[in-house]
Amino acid sequence: MEWKTVAVTILVVSLCFLAIPIRVGPDNNDKDMKLFENYVARYNKSYRKNPTEYSNRFQRFQRSLRHIEKMNGLRSSQESAYYGLTEFSDMLEDEFLQQILSSDLSMRGKKHVNATYHCEHRKRKERNHLEKRAAGIPLKVDWRQKGIISPVKSQGSCGACWAFSTVEVVESMYALKNGSLYLLSVQEMIDCARNSNLGCEGGDICSLLAWLKSTKSPILPESNYPFTRMTDTCKLKGATAKTPGIKVIDFTCDSFIDSEEELLITLATHGPVAAAVNALSWQNYLGGIIQYHCDSAFTSLNHAVQIIGYDKSNTIPYYIIKNSWGNAFGDRGYIYIAIGSNLCGIANQVSALDVIYK
């Protein structure tokens, strides 16, 4: 019986070694490493000569690869959102939230819910009237075609999406009213806007608009106050209310949950708007229409964008979103989100505004 005991022992030990490749499946390291090498070179990552960080980033990169495979496997049509490598694919999700997004945006947003400039459109009871109004707007609105949308910008490592989205809507509304599109200073807002805004460390659309209206502060041309990607001392001097420039004279900070028809009416009849969104699932977004897997809760809001139109004639009706991560991200800087389900929290907090040059 002794030989049987020895044989069983050898078999058990052998199976322990054989079980390793069976459990983890095929080894993707070589293929993944080649992709990572090309990725690091393409995005000129600063850690390329730091072995420790290089190794850590590679592990995070592999997690993104597996997540990309999963997301693309869930696509329901050729128009659905598709995912791939972006400059953020070497980050953990929590790292992406903390470094690129604004993790405190929903907390900031709560203070505006009871403000005089806020309206809960879903509480309106004029449904029949609303449906008639919605039926009268175009099936497709793209304000780029009217020449009132400025080029996509890149906020870099400066957490000022709140300033970019707001200033871009001001640019659009002035162009819509006066026929001339001027690039305005985001940096001025980063350096000068108060009312709890903290420059590159964060802020929110509604607080900025409230500050602009109450102080009558002009927004200067970008050429007069260029973007530096960092918070600096405010360069405005004296009584800013008397300084000529484009000024916000009125604004709203509304909820369109369960009333996205009203949001479409606003886009068609008033113009582009700024909105708070949940962009956590955008980390590896390349294009297509986001239809699923994008949390809509108010508590998940973490980014700000400009909504510049919509398309209801498409098989999957969608919003056209202008982002501030450069034109290499997404679809040349744009993102598309399906209409009707408050995807990515798109209807939670939306701001329209009016401007004047004075």
Among all residues, which ones are annotated catalytic?
161, 303, 323
Range list of H helices, the chain: 2-24, 29-42, 51-73, 93-99, 105-110, 127-135, 161-178, 186-192, 205-215, 260-269
Rounded Cα distance between 314 and 265, Å, is 17
Rg of the Cα atoms in the chain: 24
Task: Quote the Cα angle for 162-166-169, to 5°.
Answer: 150
Tokens of 100: 């690129």
Give the rounded distance of the alpha carbon of 197 from its chain centre: 18
Rounded Cα distance between 116 and 118, Å, is 6
Rounded Cα distance between 87 and 111, Å, is 33
Q: Strand 334-338 relative to strand 318-322: parallel, antiparallel, unpaired?
A: antiparallel
Rounded Cα distance between 81 and 319, Å, is 13
Is there a contact between 121 and 259 (Cβ–Cβ < 8 Å)?
A: yes
Q: What are phi and psi of 279, to 5 degrees?
A: -105, 15
